[in-house]
Amino acid sequence: MKLRRCALAAAIALPALLSLLPPAAHAADRTIPKRVCDFDWRGSRLEVKRLIRCAARHWGSPGGADKALDVARCESGFRTSAYNPGGYAGVYQHAIRYWPDRADRWGFPDRSVYNGRANIIVSVRMAKSANGWGIWGCA
């Protein structure tokens, strides 16, 4: 039930919030270098957590790494393959229909929502831009 509330809140808030963000630059200018927070997220949930901590430090996550970890725990239990039948997927449960634009805007053009590194870094960068994790229902 809690996951459904999170997904519903995100479905309502994220599109409205994204319309307020500044226009994106060319995708090639925003691509994240491979060496930044390059952990093997496929290996284990421990590696997913390490990646979240790294991204939170690197981009300055609102509330720090602990908040980023709390939201990921609530959204997916740190599972990169998490899927909600309402159309949400990945560590931070992005709406699948909005993912391609978000991935492109935040540095991961053409990456899957199930790509743990892309999902995490995009989420942390979005939270920083929005001044908090409030756009996620679990925040």
Q: What is the pLDDT along the chain (139 residues), one digit of tens a residue?
A: 555 555 555 555 555 444 444 444 444 346 676 677 887 888 799 999 999 999 999 999 999 999 999 999 999 999 999 999 999 999 999 999 999 999 999 989 989 999 999 999 999 999 999 989 998 887 6
* pLDDT at position 20: 44
Q: Determine how β-strand 83-84 pairs with β-strand 88-89.
A: antiparallel
Structural domain total, the chain: 1
Residue 55 lies in a domain: yes
- Position 137 scores a pLDDT of 80
Contacts 24+ apart (CB under 8 A), 97-101: 98/14, 98/15, 98/18, 101/18
- Is the Cβ–Cβ distance between 105 and 24 less than 8 Å? yes
Residue 134 lies in a domain: no
Give pLDDT, residue 10: 52
Model pLDDT, residue 37: 85
Instruction: Kindly give, in sequence order, each residue whose CB lies less than 8 Å from that of residue 37, ignoring residues fewer than 6 positions away.
Output: 51, 54, 55, 58, 117, 120, 121
Per-residue pLDDT of 22-44, as tens digits, reads 444 444 346 676 677 887 888 79
Residue 58 confidence (pLDDT)? 93
pLDDT for the residue 138: 78
Structural domain contains residue 18: yes
pLDDT of residue 43: 79
* Residue 30 in domain: yes
Determine the structural domain holding residue 105 and report its residue range: 2-129
Predicted local distance difference test score (pLDDT) of residue 113? 97
Q: Smallest Cα–Cα separation from 103: which of 123, 85, 89, 73?
A: 123
Per the domain annotation, does 135 fall within a domain? no
Answer whether residue 137 is part of any domain: no
Q: Does residue 36 belong to any structural domain of this protein?
A: yes
| Residue 139 falls inside a structural domain | no
